[in-house]
Amino acid sequence: MKRYLLVALPVAILSCISIYLLAMPDKLPMPNKIEKPADDLRERLTPEQYYVTQQKGTEAAFTGEYWNHHEAGMYRCVVCGVELFASESKFDSGCGWPSFYEAANDKVVDTNTDTSHGMVRDEIVCDNCGAHLGHVFPDGPKPTGLRYCVNSASLTFEPKKD
């Protein structure tokens, strides 16, 4: 009986550890998806950044930090920090919000149909964290013909290093 236990017990323990380790990946947070509790975001973001990114708000035209900003560099998501728009794709649309003709790459911005305010528009969100960014319209310049109309409150800016 004792000899049986000497074999069975370690086998049972090893089995438990194996099953636990195999099940682990599902329990770990997704490494690329940054999900912060809402309370933490309320502390970390300004009220306007929270309103725009988390409650699909819109800052008033010609009031944001970047609508008239022309430095070379990268605009990142204010919530998760992912690179969203390069300054090279920024153009003066005259609409009062930072406008870009393309995203930093084709994976960072996702679109959803938005039927609020009696209009049908394409909402743009950060594909990484879901932050609301603004809307995309088919009236932009070449080469894409698109205008990504983005709230300054959804962005941070990182100047290009020399």
Interface contacts to Fe ion, rule CB under 5 A: 77, 79-80, 126, 128-129, 131
Closest distance between Fe ion and the C-beta of residue 143, in Å?
Answer: 25
Closest distance between Fe ion and the C-beta of residue 78, in Å?
Answer: 8
Nearer to Fe ion, 26 or 106 (CB): 106
Residue of 77, 80, 129, 149 marked active site: 149
Q: How far apart are CA 94 and CA 97, in angstroms?
A: 8
Nearer to Fe ion, 54 or 58 (CB): 54
Contact yes or no for 130/118 (Cβ under 8 A): no
Closest distance between Fe ion and the C-beta of residue 104, in Å?
Answer: 12
Token pair of 14 as six digits: 């090893």
Question: Which stretch of DSSP H or E encloses residue 123?
Answer: strand 121-126
Contact yes or no for 157/77 (Cβ under 8 A): no
Nearer to Fe ion, 49 or 128 (CB): 128
Contact yes or no for 131/119 (Cβ under 8 A): no
Beta partners for residue 159, in sequence order: 73
Q: Is 149 a catalytic residue?
A: yes
Catalytic residues: 149
